[in-house]
Amino acid sequence: MANTKRKDKSRKVLRKGESQRPDGTYQFRWTDENRKRHCIYARNLDDLRYKEDEIDKDKKDGIKAEARYTSLNDMYELWRDLKRGIKNNTFENYKYMYETFVRNQIGSQFIMSIKKTDIKRYYNSLVDERHLKPATIDSIHTVLHQVFEMAVDDDYIRSNPTDNVLRELKKSHCFKTEKRRALTKPEQELFLNYLKNTPEAQYWYPIFAVMVGTGLRVGELTGLRWCDIDLEEGIIDVNHTLVYYDHRTEGSKKGCYFNVNTTKTPAGMRQVPMLEFVKEAFLMEKERQELLGLHCETTVDGYTDFIFVNRFGQPQHQATLNKAIRRIIRNCNDKQFLENDNPEVLLPHFSCHD
């Protein structure tokens, strides 16, 4: 007996897996390599078969069937759960960038449907509409590139749509990387002399004198404990950093708080000699705290007895230091102009990261 070919209502012969639904639309069912059933729908047979051809192409290229139903958010969550080998504060920053700028923007799109033009359009919107700085877009791109790269490696997509997009964006928007420079010797002298000799600024002298005299990163500086310095030998032992960041991306409302990390690189574990004025700054801070009965009230990941603390006994953090620097620059330069209409040295704008 000859095989009976299945047909739709228009008498068109249907292929294996195809069928017409009661409402006149079409569907195609198939089983993937893991014996999992899938189904797609279309308004007409031509559209259905176009989708079938795409599925067949994916099969030949080894693309997973579930990729059609996997969103960017799904892939990000897989990446987030598997990511290892970076500092906690860096990872928290990556998660913050995704949750803030990606999840509700393009995160719900299926990963297979996102093309390079979509990424370009998205990055342009971050610049033109949200006015984000290049450094912020760099961080967003770092996360997205890794998420899409994992999707390529796991056969969800053929190529990474973020490849070279950031380079093109920077070129089209004429982004320029700000060059950092150290304070010149006259600028350092002006800065420290102002702090040392101005009553309302003397509070800040010890921490900024140590910063200028050692070149420590801000997290290394604020993380220093009294046990990390040897005043007799004049040695500073740098073995960790203190970081302060937002933890709310973990699904809690804990907000911002401190953590201790190892140094940024293995080479960051080092001993730094004290210049004489740095040693004097430590002694000045010690004497001030003893006079006020002030001591560290905080324990962070088992670390305590931090040297530089605020009036509540809590470690200083970079936002407070940068705010103080801005105020010091303004007041110091005003004083320079009051004393001389054309001062030889003024403080440039800088931060504790510079």
Residue with tokens 């877009």: 137
> Which is more confident, 66 or 131?
131
In a domain, 3, yes or no: no
Specify whether the CB–CB gap between 118 and 106 falls below 8 A.
yes
The Cα–Cα gap between 194 and 346 comes to 11
Q: Are residues 94 and 217 in the same domain?
A: no
In a domain, 9, yes or no: no
Segment 241-264 mean pLDDT: 70
Q: Are residues 200 and 256 in the same domain?
A: yes
In a domain, 307, yes or no: yes
CATH number of the domain bearing residue 136: 1.10.150.130
Domain edge (last residue) among 122, 139, 172: 172
Q: Are residues 271 and 310 in the same domain?
A: yes
Q: Are residues 194 and 328 in the same domain?
A: yes
In a domain, 210, yes or no: yes
**How much is the pLDDT for 163?**
93
In a domain, 133, yes or no: yes
In a domain, 293, yes or no: yes
Choose the weakest-confidence range: 6-15, 16-25, 30-39, 200-209: 30-39
The Cα–Cα gap between 288 and 154 comes to 59
Domain edge (last residue) among 172, 207, 232: 172
In a domain, 344, yes or no: no
Range of the domain at 189: 185-339
> Has residue 1 got a pLDDT over 60?
no
**Residue 18 — very low, low, confident or very high, per pLDDT cuts 50/70/90?**
confident
Strand-pair category, 241-246 with 18-20? unpaired
Segment 240-269 mean pLDDT: 72
> Has residue 201 got a pLDDT over 50?
yes
Q: Are residues 218 and 194 in the same domain?
A: yes
Q: Are residues 103 and 200 in the same domain?
A: no
Percent of the chain with pLDDT over 90: 57
> Which is more confident, 181 or 252?
181
User: What is the domain count for the chain?
Assistant: 3
> Has residue 251 got a pLDDT over 60?
no
Domain edge (last residue) among 172, 204, 235: 172
CATH number of the domain bearing residue 241: 1.10.443.10
**How much is the pLDDT for 125?**
93
**How much is the pLDDT for 250?**
46
**How much is the pLDDT for 248?**
57
Segment 234-263 mean pLDDT: 76
Give the CA distances from residue 227 to residues 11, 74, 236, 303, in Å, rounded to whole numbers and listed in that order.
Answer: 87, 46, 9, 11
Q: Are residues 205 and 247 in the same domain?
A: yes
Q: Are residues 30 and 99 in the same domain?
A: no
In a domain, 100, yes or no: yes
> Has residue 305 got a pLDDT over 70?
yes
Q: Which residues contact 94 (CB under 8 A, 6 or more apart)?
A: 83, 86, 139, 142, 143
Structure tokens at 230: 């040897």
**pTM for the predicted model, two decimal places:** 0.61
**How much is the pLDDT for 56?**
78
> Has residue 282 got a pLDDT over 90?
yes
Q: Are residues 53 and 81 in the same domain?
A: no
Segment 255-280 mean pLDDT: 85
Of the candidates 161, 181, 87, the residue with the CA atom closest to the CA atom of residue 119: 161
> Has residue 179 got a pLDDT over 70?
no
Q: Are residues 308 and 208 in the same domain?
A: yes
Q: Are residues 50 and 111 in the same domain?
A: no
**Residue 171 — very low, low, confident or very high, per pLDDT cuts 50/70/90?**
confident
Q: Are residues 40 and 152 in the same domain?
A: no
